[in-house]
Structure 1
């Protein structure tokens, strides 16, 4: 039986625990899982792995996170996997905002609700998108207007690949064609890298892709990046003019990769995961490795990420309507 002294000590211990911030009381996972919807080697995979490697030794994770690639269905398979995961924070989703902010406008029967089935944890990295051309396009084509003139003169070859139907790069290419009256045929892929490979191989004229997925081959002279989508030139391609600089300001956009947890995940676990992600993003090795992929490491609070997602959802609604694309089209 507990005596008075023991009772007082036990009560004091519980009181001290209750006084601790919730973020300090959640049990750390041995090795949490990060699911992303694109193939190994691309920008999404790199972001998940670089951040995941540095999550260990925190209140969220004892060791590094395990990354699981679930490519297919334009990133939706990964969303479905995490939606169905246990809502304890042991499994996170890493995805571009396309799957959360744009897909609701194009899928009448989307298998998940971005606003009800997931909780934002943190933005991880920000990227621009690039228009790149391969050896099918003559070396004399050096600008977006050059490319449009070539595409108009060669309608049978005027195509562009993107990492997924309904993704931001897909719609940037669609808007470029729509706004200029040039018929650019879209070819969807399961991730950017297969599209870039086909472009290098000469079976695809161009790609609209995350800048990082074209960067190495651009620097190697195998392909040419004609434009990037940021408000300013990227530090990775300072010699390449933006769409806006070339007369296409409506194509100015930046996209982020963000971490999500299944709805119902406890707030203290979200706080721990957010802290671990933001700590990883301050590591110089993470910053440098993401830069090699054309990514700028950038964390956020869950609230800021939620606001950005909602803002992008509002912004893309009328653009998707203008393009006229749906999952059934």
Structure 2
């Protein structure tokens, strides 16, 4: 047989053998992929290859390990452990390293103060999350699981971001990483630092008295959620048409659910980016009344106020606004 014919025959034989050897691998690989995509949450949590749903899985918090770590249960009864993305609360079981918390002295007083805030962060987590059904969300820039095989998550409860709340109250520092919400978290941390709020009071080596830190504000937030006092009742971030051409259709609505009028002079309302509006002297909200703060410009009335911003401010893709009284204490917050 000519050499060319022998070569062709050899190629054919090799292709047939390779095809036979490879054939089982195709169905096996496909079956594995399907199983991974459709596997129900279990001891391994949400499948790594499955894109999380837009609103994330709903789970029940069953144990608080510390301020930034907890155990939860899926609807099918399986459990897993989660670590909050982007935040780091002081240690309650090990030693704290003051050099991780900017400005906190590396002294016995500094370490003792941080331990106090580790306890307060854990107490806050138990008060707000334990036994509650919450929504988990993930981050495109971070792996699904961390070093100890814990799920890395954002937690949303009652419309608010728990991760963000820890930073805002000074109960945690921002944990340096590439997580997507870094800018808003760093802005909240900077405000907490400047106000000496929460653990940032440890820069003086002494915890703030209970009445001055954000732990006591928890009761206020809980009260507003049950209908007592001034609440953020609506955030309308997506103005009709082009946002920049309709700034006053970006607005926040406050509602007074209490039995008495409230003087809002000196109160502030801030968004996640740190833009802050201060309510002017003479601003009151009657019992049962609403007050709308528009982003753009206009003439203030008893029912409508104007921030005076020259560009869109509220984030259409998700926004958190925080309401504080004249002393800086947290009154209410709301997220979209």
Q: Which has the higher contact order (CA 8 A, sep 6+)?
A: 1
TM-score by length of 1: 0.30
TM-score by length of 2: 0.29
Q: Which has the higher strand share?
A: 2
Larger Rg: 2
Q: Which has the higher helix share?
A: 1
